[in-house]
Structure 1
Amino acid sequence: MEQLTGVTIEAIDLAAWAPAALEVQAVAFGLGPHEVAVRLPIVGRHALQPGVLALGAMARGRLVGFGYGMPNRRDHWWSTVIEPYLAARGHEHWLDGVFAVTELHVLPEFQGRGVGSRLIRSLCERSGLDRSILSAIDAETPARRLYRSLGYQDLASAVRFPNTERPYAVMGARLPLRDPSAP
């Protein structure tokens, strides 16, 4: 457990915390009730994956942020979608031996306080792998700026996931991630 700006970062049981985590994601990412209902069983399946790691950011007993990920496998749905985009840029090797950060969300009132940085850095440190990969909306957002400050670089852009309107970027970083608060 780590104390940070009134927020404690701790391991959580992803399956048990999925409803609360999706409430955070709905607010942070702007999901509607239908999207949350679709994602709940997906998170439940992810909770059963080998090597899944999940952390929660707690403030006075309330989940204010969360992140989870797992060792990437080429047969995961996400990998099958991003593989052609990575291959086109010579980055297909980023699908093997990497920790995939699946979700990372922090309530808006807790953003900009280092919560997201500690969540993702802690997840990656605990993974035991030497590289990490993730996808983010392909726009200059606070999330993209955070990932870049930690050492993530674009591996592919304009990635289209089924049933999404916005394009995504796939980003990768060597581990350990940089500490943006370090001098």
Structure 2
Amino acid sequence: MPLTFRHLTAPEFIDLAPALVDLYIAAMKYPVTIRDQRIAVWRRDAASSGFAAIAAYDGDQLAGIAYGFKGTRDKWWDLQLRRGLFRQQAMTPAMITVIRNYFEVAEVHVAPGLQCKGTGRQLMHRLLACTNEPYALLSTPEVPGEKNAAFGLYRSLGFLDVLRNFTYEGDSRPFAILGRKLPLT
């Protein structure tokens, strides 16, 4: 059976947040101890300006989720991005233009048994078609040689380096922040 995709309204997203976060935890192999905290964060995100969410279903089973919103200075991630750009002396005039007008791809996750089958690509295309912002930014954990499905997907969609080996406050893992001009082609 082919996958189906649904745009989720903010109230639908809020109602589905526990199941969406469960998929995220399974896809990322995170400890379940973060579940309640992530549900609260995801529910808060649904109130963000420009919020958009796409869910993928395999029959009646949740197969994937992607969501994001307009990047704004009042968001934690935007503050972290700006901190990183200043510290790495990457706050160029071109980057200032980007950070004033971007869509933050907050999360993209596919159920473990369905990864590497095009679901993430379809989620990204559908999600980024929902925004009028001229740029998209996202972050992903660094992996040696960019050898994972996430990097493969983002690179194939034309995402380029904005910051590398960036560490968020409170998280010692290095992340890559990637971006691209929209729309996707």
TM-score for both structures, normalised by structure 2: 0.89
Q: Measure, in 2, the Cα distance between the counterparts of 1:124 and 1:45.
A: 20
| Percent identity between the two aligned chains | 28
Q: Measure, in 2, the Cα distance between the counterparts of 1:23 and 1:39.
A: 10
Match in the other structure for 2:39: 40
Q: Is the 8 A contact 1:82 1:159 kept in 2?
A: no
Q: Measure, in 2, the Cα distance between the counterparts of 1:145 and 1:52.
A: 25
In the TM superposition, 1:48-67 aligns within 5 A as 48-67=47-66
Deviation at 1:92, TM superposition (A): 3.9
Once the two structures are overlaid, the 10-residue window that deviates more, 135-144 or 101-110, is 135-144
Q: Is the 8 A contact 1:86 1:92 kept in 2?
A: no
In the TM superposition, 1:134-149 aligns within 5 A as 134-139=138-143, 140=146, 141-149=148-156
The 3-state SS of whatever aligns with 1:6 is coil
Question: Which of these residues, 154, 167, 173, is aligned with residue 160 of structure 1?
Answer: 167
Match in the other structure for 2:115: 111
Match in the other structure for 1:8: 4
Query: CA distance change for structure 1 residues 34 and 163 in 2, over 3 Å: closer, same or farther?
Result: farther
Q: Measure, in 1, the Cα distance between the counterparts of 2:182 and 2:96.
A: 18
Q: Is the 8 A contact 1:83 1:92 kept in 2?
A: no
Q: Measure, in 1, the Cα distance between the counterparts of 2:63 and 2:169.
A: 28
Q: Measure, in 2, the Cα distance between the counterparts of 1:169 and 1:50.
A: 24
Letter in 2 for 1:9: F
The 3-state SS of whatever aligns with 2:152 is helix
Letter in 1 for 2:155: R
TM-score for both structures, normalised by structure 1: 0.90
Tell me, which stretches of 5 or more residues in structure 1 are unaligned? 179-183
What is the aligned-residue RMSD (CA, Å)?
1.4
Match in the other structure for 1:151: 158
Letter in 2 for 1:133: L
Q: Measure, in 2, the Cα distance between the counterparts of 1:102 and 1:78.
A: 9
The 3-state SS of whatever aligns with 1:127 is coil
- 4+ aligned runs moved over 4 Å, structure 1: none
The 3-state SS of whatever aligns with 1:151 is coil
Once the two structures are overlaid, the 10-residue window that deviates more, 134-143 or 157-166, is 157-166
Once the two structures are overlaid, the 10-residue window that deviates more, 65-74 or 138-147, is 138-147
Letter in 2 for 1:176: P
Match in the other structure for 1:173: 180
Deviation at 1:136, TM superposition (A): 0.7
Deviation at 1:32, TM superposition (A): 1.2
Q: Measure, in 2, the Cα distance between the counterparts of 1:70 and 1:167.
A: 23
Q: Measure, in 2, the Cα distance between the counterparts of 1:163 and 1:55.
A: 29
